[in-house]
Amino acid sequence: MARLGIIAGGGGLPVALAAADPGAQCVGFEGIATDLPSDRLQMHRFERLGALFDALRGAGVTRVVMAGAMSRPAFDPAALDPVTTALLPRLTAAMQQGDDQLLRFVITLFEDQGFEVVGAADLLPDLTAAPGLLAGPEPGASARGDVAQARAILDALSPLDVGQGCVVAGGLCLGVETLQGTDALLRFVGNTPAALRGDRRGVLVKRPKAGQDLRVDMPAIGPDTIRAAVDAGLEGIAIAARATVLIDRPSLLSACAEHGLFLLAEP
Amino acid sequence: MARLGIIAGGGGLPVALAAADPGAQCVGFEGIATDLPSDRLQMHRFERLGALFDALRGAGVTRVVMAGAMSRPAFDPAALDPVTTALLPRLTAAMQQGDDQLLRFVITLFEDQGFEVVGAADLLPDLTAAPGLLAGPEPGASARGDVAQARAILDALSPLDVGQGCVVAGGLCLGVETLQGTDALLRFVGNTPAALRGDRRGVLVKRPKAGQDLRVDMPAIGPDTIRAAVDAGLEGIAIAARATVLIDRPSLLSACAEHGLFLLAEP
């Protein structure tokens, strides 16, 4: 039986994967916070990827899934093992690229070592949503227009490896998601001066970039996203059906209902 | 002799125009702050455009220039004059569009009343820059690459009426200018967590959008922009030659030199 390795970052997704597969080997990294209990985690270091690959193979792992938020790590050159040292030129080059290139490189790393890389949504199909209105009121024509405009902006940016999220309100773009992530975007939107924003509410659209490898970097929203969207004054969120992870779906949907925020999954 | 009317918003540009043409008729609006002395300003209200057009004509004004920042005004329906009432359906529709459409509509308003609309840069050619390095050190290959990436992002967004500015650092997009303007963008960039940004500095690119009417909405930078860029940790700024206003050029250039920030004007 193919044992699964869970390469765990922060947030609820690694926890959900670990709960669904009690036999999985969970891996954490020094300096990267996770919500998994320490007795389920085998800790590794980015500087010692050789030790990581050996440990996974030794534990009978043949498939790995990467899940959860990880910041770009600081490397301690003194701690490097030979495997990592050999990879260093390609690794540092990849780290200077956008997220897509870096993650594609990390997938290649594991595949070159003989591991199959699988996506969290393939393991847990219920993580994503079928098309339709998932929660909240049916969006009106103005909100639908804002969703379309935000999608057009994301489509335009997609070839440039920018933008998993965009906020449009009453036809005006209030923010584009960049490196800092969705929460930072929503805080920025919430700080828009009233003299500029008027009474516009607006929508957040979150979708994968064109060509994005959904095995390692699927957009995700959770109850925190809903709260941040409410704080930013938005009226709804539109996500990509079957390509956006819903973290803690029951809490997420009830938070939408409580605040009257629509959540729409679009093909 | 054709008398000039200066429709004045905030900032240094209306002040520079008024100083260059002592005979010009300067117009301010209730609720919009300007840096012009009150004895040079004739005050009007957005709700009474008929009165504004009559006053300009009565003062012998045939050409108008719009200059300086104006927020989208709140209208008091009780104060509307008949001319403005008749314009209201088109005006409110335009106010729900992006900046470009709104400003194009405002130009049309003045032209329909028989005024010629001229650009601040046409009146004061020294407001803009010829191509070349205007201040600071010659940008290196990495900074040039960041400038090119930011330009590609702005080019992609331009047809969607989004983005007069973009910050890229070490190949990563740290922010796209939206409704909130350049200073808000630079504050957002400056708040990027160090764990994400690393030691990347980055560049701000400010350019007009494709098809933008430069008579009323040319991008502008001033000494405050330089300070904000320094606070955001940037290493340089690239602007569009002959299509970006340099406010208070001597102070702007000396601020760049003082902080070692390059300022590049590109065709």
| Higher-confidence position of B262 and A101 | B262
* Same domain flag for B77 and B139: no
Q: What is the CATH number of the domain that holds B69?
A: 3.40.50.20
Report how many helices (DSSP H) and strands (DSSP E) chain B contains, helices first.
10, 13
* Same domain flag for B72 and B107: yes
Q: What is the pLDDT of residues B25-65, one digit of tens each?
A: 999 988 888 889 989 999 999 889 999 999 999 999 999 99
Question: B241 touching A, CB under 8 A?
Answer: no
Across the interface, whether the CB atoms of A178 and B180 are under 8 A apart is answered: no
Mean pLDDT of chain A: 91
How large is the average pLDDT for residues A100-115? Answer: 86
How large is the average pLDDT for residues A129-136? Answer: 96
**Segment among A14-18, A26-30, A122-126, B214-218 with least mean pLDDT:** B214-218
How large is the average pLDDT for residues A134-148? Answer: 97
Minimum CA–CA partner of A162 in chain B? B173
pLDDT at B10: 82
* Same domain flag for B119 and B136: no
Q: Decide if pLDDT at B190 tops 70.
A: yes
Q: Indicate the residue among B123, B156, B173 that finishes a domain.
A: B123
Across the interface, whether the CB atoms of B173 and A152 are under 8 A apart is answered: no
Question: A86 touching B, CB under 8 A?
Answer: no
Tabulate helix, strand, coil % of chain B (nearest 5).
40, 20, 35
**Segment among A195-199, B181-185, B258-262 with least mean pLDDT:** A195-199
Q: What is the CATH number of the domain that holds B223?
A: 3.40.140.80
Question: How far is Cα A135 from Cα A265, in angstroms, rounded to an integer?
Answer: 10
SS3 label, residue A141: helix
* Same domain flag for B23 and B88: yes
CB count within 10 Å of CB A227 equals: 15
pLDDT at B98: 65
For residue A1, give the amino acid letter.
M
* Same domain flag for B165 and B262: yes
Contact status, residue B184 vs residue B210, Cβ threshold 8 Å = no
Q: What is the pLDDT of residues B110-139, one digit of tens each?
A: 999 999 999 888 898 888 999 999 999 999
Interface of B with A in 148-177 (CB under 8 A): 149, 152-153, 156-157, 159-160, 162-163, 170-176
Question: B92 touching A, CB under 8 A?
Answer: no
* Same domain flag for A94 and A18: yes
pLDDT at B1: 60
How large is the average pLDDT for residues B80-97? Answer: 84
Say how many CA atoms lie within 13 Å of A58 toward its Cβ.
Answer: 7
Angle between helical axes of B82-95 and B49-58 (0-180°, round to 10) = 110
**Structure ipTM:** 0.78
pLDDT at A72: 66
Mean pLDDT of chain B: 91
Give me the number of domains chain A comprises: 2
Question: A69 touching B, CB under 8 A?
Answer: no
pLDDT at A73: 67
Q: Indicate the residue among A123, A152, A184 that finishes a domain.
A: A123
Q: Decide if pLDDT at B144 tops 90.
A: yes
Q: Indicate the residue among B69, B89, B123 that finishes a domain.
A: B123
Name the DSSP letter for residue A220: E
Tell me the CA distances in angstroms from B34 to A94, B12, B73, B107, B218, one per residue in order.
49, 9, 14, 21, 18
pTM of the model: 0.80
Q: Cβ contacts (< 8 Å) between B152 and chain A: which residues? A: 160
* Same domain flag for A108 and A132: no
Report how many helices (DSSP H) and strands (DSSP E) chain A contains, helices first.
10, 13
Q: Decide if pLDDT at A1 tops 70.
A: no
Tell me the CA distances in angstroms from A132 to A129, A246, A265, B175, one per residue in order.
8, 14, 5, 31
| A263, two tokens | 């959540």
User: What's the domain range around A254?
Assistant: 128-266
Q: Cβ contacts (< 8 Å) between A152 and chain B: which residues? A: 160
* Same domain flag for B15 and B118: yes
* Same domain flag for B10 and B91: yes
Question: How far is Cα A176 from Cα B204, in angstroms, rounded to an integer?
Answer: 16
pLDDT at B73: 67
* Same domain flag for B44 and B165: no
Across the interface, whether the CB atoms of B160 and A153 are under 8 A apart is answered: yes
pLDDT at B210: 81
Confidence of residue B218 (pLDDT cuts 50, 70, 90): confident
* Same domain flag for A136 and A262: yes
Q: Cβ contacts (< 8 Å) between B71 and chain A: which residues? A: 193, 195-196
For an interface test with A, give the residue of B173, B189, B191 to mutate (most A CBs within 10 A). Answer: B173
Question: B180 touching A, CB under 8 A?
Answer: yes
Minimum CA–CA partner of B73 in chain A? A195
How large is the average pLDDT for residues A80-107? Answer: 81
CB count within 10 Å of CB B251 equals: 14
Name the DSSP letter for residue A177: -
Question: A50 touching B, CB under 8 A?
Answer: no
